[in-house]
A and B are shown apart, each in its own frame.
Chain A
Amino acid sequence: MKVHVDSEKCQGHNRCYALAPGLFKVDEFGYATERNDGVVPENMRDKARLAVENCPERAISIVEDDASA
């Protein structure tokens, strides 16, 4: 599983970073990007889904790869 933040949509609400600092980082303006190319460790998949569900801008998406789907 991978997560991706669409930087065109992110407005810096900080929700993903607050919920899953292991998966996201924010720059000095508060805009988020995914850590580690977006790779989601198995034990953090719920966090990734939470981040998607709580982003008010709908900026985060999950890409399931075949091996871990």
Chain B
Amino acid sequence: MAEPVKDWTTDYDIFDPAYKRDPFPIWDEIREECPIAHTERWGGSFMPTRYEDLFNIARNIQTYSSRNVLVADFEPSAYGEDPEGVPAEVQTASQTAGGAPPITADPPVHTWARKLLLPPFSATQVARYEPETRELCAELIAGFIANGRADGAADYAQQIPPRVIASMLGIPKDKAETFTGWVRGFLELGLTDPEMRQSSAISIFSYMNEVIQERKQNLREGDLPSYLLTSQVDGEPVPEAHVLGTCFLLMVAGIDTTWSSIGSAIWHLAQHPADRARLIAEPELIDSAVEELLRAYSPVTMARYVAEETEYAGCPMHEGDKVLMNFPAANRDPRVFENPDQVIIDREKNPHIAFGVGIHRCAGSNLARMEMKVAIQEWLKHIPEFRLEAPDEVTWAGGQVRGPRKMALVWGS
């Protein structure tokens, strides 16, 4: 067990149980006392908490590189030094791709990689997946509604994003549980366990590599691997290694994050009957409610890699230092948001940065919003009244992606 944290401004631990459960008072303390905290834990990092600082750092891509976006030490190749048992073409691919572009890329690679990825994730394109997402949510609810209880995280939130991303990747939805296991192994449980992270990464890379090899023989209309394989950059096909890295990214980034957002939204609604009633009476508020829930319960904290000597707000930073981009804390900064700890589902001024800010704005933001909207609408349509069975027993994943993992809900008599 790690030593308990005594001073959050100089020794924070994003994997501390208290931080996972309720980070908000900790962020408030850091934001007011020492807005850029520092820790030696997990390889060392800085953690800005004020909106303005996050805004400035995210946009300074020269100094704050994205070559490594996880805070604990991590090989960009995802394989460490002993890639035994990994097919050679997968090793080459992951190393050439440099991880998972464009999230792990800086310009100039980032520029074309992002341009390639944005069109299939535009709001218009993503809307194509809305009917099947709605059907999926309704089916999940039909499976447990008569029981009068369900786990809102495991039985609902967790089930949605892996199937939607599977649909976009053109891979079988019945493998969703497997994908979820890999992604948790990489991004959640594996964040503090290098071996698990490595083996999970290998599983994802290997599986996506098989899909890509298969697609090369049988291209399909409308799935992402086929789209990437047939796209061109400067008149040349996209390198296969890059296609693999991007498919890896889509699976890793498209599952844990959105499921955490959906889970937190349901967690909030379970405890706020007035917000439920209002969303049912005024369905047109759903869009602003989604933005507000994204602001109040932002799930994602990415990291940056300091690429050159610098000083920010009196903090000297050296090449190789990490900066933990605490967008969730920025979204609770009272300098920007009135009553930041209150969820106001029709909040008018809400320039939240849950999806980041600058050139790495989450490419899947439109997809995440669509899934959240549909998941909330379908839940409230079928289960308008519900509550947490035991609020203290809800468990949270934390670190770089925060959301409920066990959340017993009850309804009916």
Contact surface of A with B, Cβ cutoff 8 Å: 11-15, 17-18, 26, 28-30, 50, 53-58
Contact = CB atoms under 8 A, between A and B. Distances in A.
B361 A13 contact: yes
Nearest to A10: B361
B353 interface: yes
Contacts of A56: 351-353, 355, 357, 361
Contacts of B121: 30
Given A13-B355, A53-B349, 9 more contacts: A13-B361, A13-B365, A17-B123, A29-B119, A53-B351, A54-B350, A56-B351, A56-B355, A57-B358
A52 B291 CA distance: 16
A55 B350 CA distance: 8
- Top 8 A-B pairs, shortest CB-CB distance: A11-B361, A29-B118, A53-B349, A56-B351, A28-B119, A30-B122, A56-B357, A56-B353
B366 interface: yes
Interface string B84-120: 0000000000000000000000000000000100110
A56 B118 CA distance: 18
B2 to A, nearest CB: 34
Nearest to A11: B361
Nearest to B118: A29
A56 B327 CA distance: 12
B349 A12 contact: no
Contacts of B357: 11, 56-57
A30 B361 CA distance: 11
Contact of B358 (A11, A15, A29, A55): A11
A14 B351 contact: no
A11 B359 contact: yes
B311 interface: no
Interface string B305-345: 00000000000000000000000000000000000000000
A29 B287 CA distance: 21
B348 interface: yes
Grouping DSSP codes into helix (H, G, I), strand (E, B) and loop, the A interface class, with mixed when no group exceeds half, is loop
A12 B357 CA distance: 10
A23 B7 CA distance: 49
Contacts of B350: 54
A29 to B, nearest CB: 4
A26 B123 CA distance: 9
28 contacts: A11-B357, A11-B359, A12-B361, A13-B355, A13-B361, A13-B365, A14-B123, A14-B365, A14-B366, A17-B123, A18-B287, A26-B123, A28-B119, A28-B122, A29-B119, A29-B122, A50-B349, A53-B349, A54-B350, A54-B351, A55-B351, A56-B352, A56-B353, A56-B355, A56-B357, A56-B361, A57-B358, A58-B351
Nearest to A57: B357
A58 B115 CA distance: 21
A58 to B, nearest CB: 8
Contacts of A55: 351
Contacts of B348: 50, 53
Contacts of B349: 50, 53-54
B293 to A, nearest CB: 15
A34 B411 CA distance: 47
Contacts of B353: 56
Contacts of B291: 15, 54
B6 to A, nearest CB: 35
Contacts of B118: 12, 28-30
Nearest to A30: B122
Contacts of A18: 123, 287
Nearest to B327: A56
Contacts of B119: 28-29
B122 A26 contact: yes
B290 to A, nearest CB: 10
A29 B5 CA distance: 44
B200 to A, nearest CB: 30
Nearest to B358: A11
